[in-house]
Amino acid sequence: MRFDEEIYFYFLAIIPMMILLFILLQVWKNRTQKKFANSDLLKRLTPDKSDFKSSLKLIIILLGITFLTLGLVNPKIGTKLETVKREGVDIVFAVDVSKSMLAEDIAPNRLEKSKRLVSEIINQLNSDRIGIIAYAGQAFPQLPITTDYGAAKMFLQSMNTNMLTSQGTAIDQAIKLATTYYDDEDQTNRVLFIISDGEDHSEGTTLQALEEANEAGIQTFTIGVGKPKGAPIPIKRKGILESLKKDAQGEVVITKLNQEVLLDIADKGNGKYIDGTNTEEAVSYIKEQLNQMDKTEFEAKQYSEFKDQFQWFLAAALFFLFLDILVLDRKTKWLRKLNLFNENRT
């Protein structure tokens, strides 16, 4: 499934606003009515008033807005799965999610900058396959090699510094895991992008991991995120700064971009070091590097013949909006006799 106009999903923000306004209105009405008369007298004065219908009308309107939004978004469903021939390279992104990536020496912070870089790179790809790895004290497979760029962006945005309990920065683990991502049957050009601030707590074994990657035909690029001057690591709760990370001696920890480590990894990995400060320049350089590589033909399965589904949702929206007009605030006679909602108390 795919969506034509995802921007219309913002219309769904109307729903919680309407619920809040409805609750506030009901509270105000109840307080005002209590000032006018007690509950028994009010029931006698307004015998046809339904306590349930106002909530029912709200639910109907909200359903109408929901289906109308889905209609405007225009979901499309693939009706046919076919195997196609594509040409490209296999790219794996290893994103550092250690606590040091929360430093804000590059806006909004290093991790968000890394995610934006990867997202922009994906936007420049055509038929290449991509995979994503998250690593800190250990490496974790986030997304296997795929041509589904939409899924890649979804997994990318969900990455955070709390997803791995083991802290630290084990670049060697990320490289070792990346070597398992590539399909031995498809001898494609293999590229690994390590996005990090360069803090490496596994320098002793990183060289060995790079040698294994070289033997597997993997070209390793590094993208530096952060500044050599460094910055403290903020500790936030619900977006509010509580304190700064401190070491065992109580001193504020300053994390710095270690370009030397990233340069060394790129050099030994037959790749290049890329400064990630300027997103546009970094993405442009990466696109140029990928275009220079030989493309390998491989098979990929994908849905084709996507059909519009908006008409079903618009029909449902019109039904609920029309139903709202028919549903009155007062009690319906036959429902009143049934007393389904226990409104007729004696």
- The pTM of this model reads 0.65
| HSE, side-chain direction, 13 A CA sphere, residue 52 | 10
- H/E stretch holding 24: helix 14-36
At residue 35, the pLDDT reads: 74
Question: What is the rounded CA–CA span in Å between residue 41 and residue 38?
Answer: 6
pLDDT value at residue 8: 84
Which is nearest to 331 in space by CA: 25, 63, 60, 43?
43
Domain positions in the chain are: 2-74+309-338, 83-301
The confidence score (pLDDT) of residue 334 equals 46
Q: How far, in Å, CA of 267 to CA of 191, rounded?
A: 14
Give the helix ranges, DSSP H, for 93-148: 110-123
Give the containing element (helix H, strand E) for 196: strand 190-196
- Tokens 């992008």 sit on residue: 193
Q: What token pair was written down for 92?
A: 């794996």
For 5, counting Cβ atoms within 10 Å of its Cβ (0-12 exposed, 13-18 middle, 19+ buried), the class is exposed
**CA trace torsion 16, 21, 23, 28 (10° rounding):** 170
pLDDT in tens, the chain (346 residues): 667 777 888 888 999 999 999 899 888 877 877 777 666 666 665 656 666 677 888 898 999 999 999 888 888 775 655 666 667 889 999 999 999 999 999 989 999 999 999 999 999 998 888 999 999 988 999 999 888 888 899 999 999 998 887 777 789 999 999 999 987 666 678 999 999 998 877 767 888 999 999 999 999 999 999 999 999 999 888 778 888 988 888 899 999 999 999 999 999 999 999 999 999 999 999 999 999 888 777 665 555 566 778 888 889 989 988 888 877 665 555 445 555 445 555 4
**The CATH number, out of the four listed (3.40.50.300, 2.40.280.10, 3.40.50.410, 2.80.10.50), of the domain defined by the range 83-301:** 3.40.50.410
Residue entry with tokens 């968000």: 112
